[in-house]
Protein backbone atom coordinates (compact mmCIF):
# COMPACT_ATOMS: atom_id res chain seq x y z
CA UNK A 1 0.00 0.00 0.00
CA UNK A 2 2.82 2.39 0.90
CA UNK A 3 4.57 1.79 -2.46
CA UNK A 4 1.33 2.56 -4.33
CA UNK A 5 0.85 5.85 -2.42
CA UNK A 6 4.47 6.74 -3.14
CA UNK A 7 3.96 6.18 -6.87
CA UNK A 8 0.79 8.28 -6.86
CA UNK A 9 2.61 11.09 -5.10
CA UNK A 10 5.44 10.90 -7.64
CA UNK A 11 2.93 10.88 -10.48
CA UNK A 12 1.17 13.97 -9.09
CA UNK A 13 4.52 15.72 -8.65
CA UNK A 14 5.52 14.83 -12.21
CA UNK A 15 2.19 16.11 -13.62
CA UNK A 16 2.40 19.37 -11.69
CA UNK A 17 6.01 19.94 -12.89
CA UNK A 18 4.96 19.16 -16.46
CA UNK A 19 2.01 21.57 -16.33
CA UNK A 20 4.21 24.24 -14.78
CA UNK A 21 6.71 23.86 -17.65
CA UNK A 22 3.95 24.04 -20.25
CA UNK A 23 2.61 27.20 -18.62
CA UNK A 24 6.07 28.82 -18.60
CA UNK A 25 6.60 27.84 -22.26
CA UNK A 26 3.29 29.45 -23.19
CA UNK A 27 4.18 32.63 -21.31
CA UNK A 28 7.61 32.79 -23.00
CA UNK A 29 6.04 32.18 -26.41
CA UNK A 30 3.50 34.98 -25.89
CA UNK A 31 6.29 37.34 -24.79
CA UNK A 32 8.26 36.49 -27.93
CA UNK A 33 5.20 37.16 -30.09
CA UNK A 34 4.70 40.51 -28.36
CA UNK A 35 8.38 41.39 -28.87
CA UNK A 36 8.12 40.45 -32.53
CA UNK A 37 5.00 42.61 -32.93
CA UNK A 38 6.76 45.53 -31.23
CA UNK A 39 9.76 45.19 -33.56
CA UNK A 40 7.47 44.96 -36.58
CA UNK A 41 5.71 48.15 -35.49
CA UNK A 42 9.07 49.93 -35.06
CA UNK A 43 10.10 48.84 -38.57
CA UNK A 44 6.78 50.00 -40.05
CA UNK A 45 7.15 53.39 -38.38
CA UNK A 46 10.73 53.72 -39.67
CA UNK A 47 9.65 52.93 -43.22
CA UNK A 48 6.71 55.35 -42.96
CA UNK A 49 8.99 58.17 -41.73
CA UNK A 50 11.54 57.40 -44.43
CA UNK A 51 8.87 57.56 -47.17
CA UNK A 52 7.49 60.79 -45.72
CA UNK A 53 10.96 62.36 -45.77
CA UNK A 54 11.55 61.25 -49.35
CA UNK A 55 8.19 62.69 -50.47
CA UNK A 56 8.97 65.95 -48.67
CA UNK A 57 12.37 66.10 -50.35
CA UNK A 58 10.88 65.95 -53.85
CA UNK A 59 8.23 68.61 -53.35
CA UNK A 60 8.76 71.41 -55.89
CA UNK A 61 9.15 74.36 -53.51
CA UNK A 62 11.61 73.20 -50.85
CA UNK A 63 14.19 75.69 -49.58
CA UNK A 64 17.85 74.67 -49.53
CA UNK A 65 17.98 74.62 -45.70
CA UNK A 66 14.86 72.49 -45.51
CA UNK A 67 16.32 70.14 -48.15
CA UNK A 68 19.53 69.68 -46.10
CA UNK A 69 17.52 69.09 -42.93
CA UNK A 70 15.45 66.38 -44.67
CA UNK A 71 18.57 64.74 -46.13
CA UNK A 72 20.10 64.66 -42.65
CA UNK A 73 16.93 63.03 -41.31
CA UNK A 74 17.08 60.40 -44.06
CA UNK A 75 20.76 59.71 -43.40
CA UNK A 76 20.09 59.43 -39.68
CA UNK A 77 17.33 56.90 -40.31
CA UNK A 78 19.67 54.80 -42.47
CA UNK A 79 22.39 54.80 -39.83
CA UNK A 80 23.24 51.34 -38.43
CA UNK A 81 21.39 50.50 -35.24
CA UNK A 82 23.09 50.06 -31.90
CA UNK A 83 24.82 46.77 -31.15
CA UNK A 84 22.23 45.91 -28.49
CA UNK A 85 19.39 46.47 -30.94
CA UNK A 86 21.04 44.28 -33.57
CA UNK A 87 21.66 41.46 -31.11
CA UNK A 88 18.08 41.67 -29.89
CA UNK A 89 16.49 41.66 -33.33
CA UNK A 90 18.76 38.95 -34.74
CA UNK A 91 18.10 36.83 -31.64
CA UNK A 92 14.35 37.10 -32.15
CA UNK A 93 14.71 36.20 -35.84
CA UNK A 94 16.62 33.00 -35.01
CA UNK A 95 13.93 31.74 -32.68
CA UNK A 96 12.76 28.26 -33.70
CA UNK A 97 9.24 28.97 -32.40
CA UNK A 98 8.59 31.90 -34.70
CA UNK A 99 9.03 32.12 -38.43
CA UNK A 100 9.75 35.66 -39.63
CA UNK A 101 7.31 36.06 -42.53
What is the reported pLDDT for 82? Answer: 59
CA distance 25 to 23: 5
What is the reported pLDDT for 95? Answer: 47
User: If you count DSSP H runs as helices and E runs as strands, how many of each does the chain have, helices first?
Assistant: 3, 0
Question: What is the mean pLDDT of each successive set of 10 residues along the chain, which is 101 residues long?
Answer: 80 87 89 90 90 84 84 74 55 48 42
Amino acid sequence: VKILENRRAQSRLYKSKYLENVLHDNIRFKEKLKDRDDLAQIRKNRIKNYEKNIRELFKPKVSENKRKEIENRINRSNKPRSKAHNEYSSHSRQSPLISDN
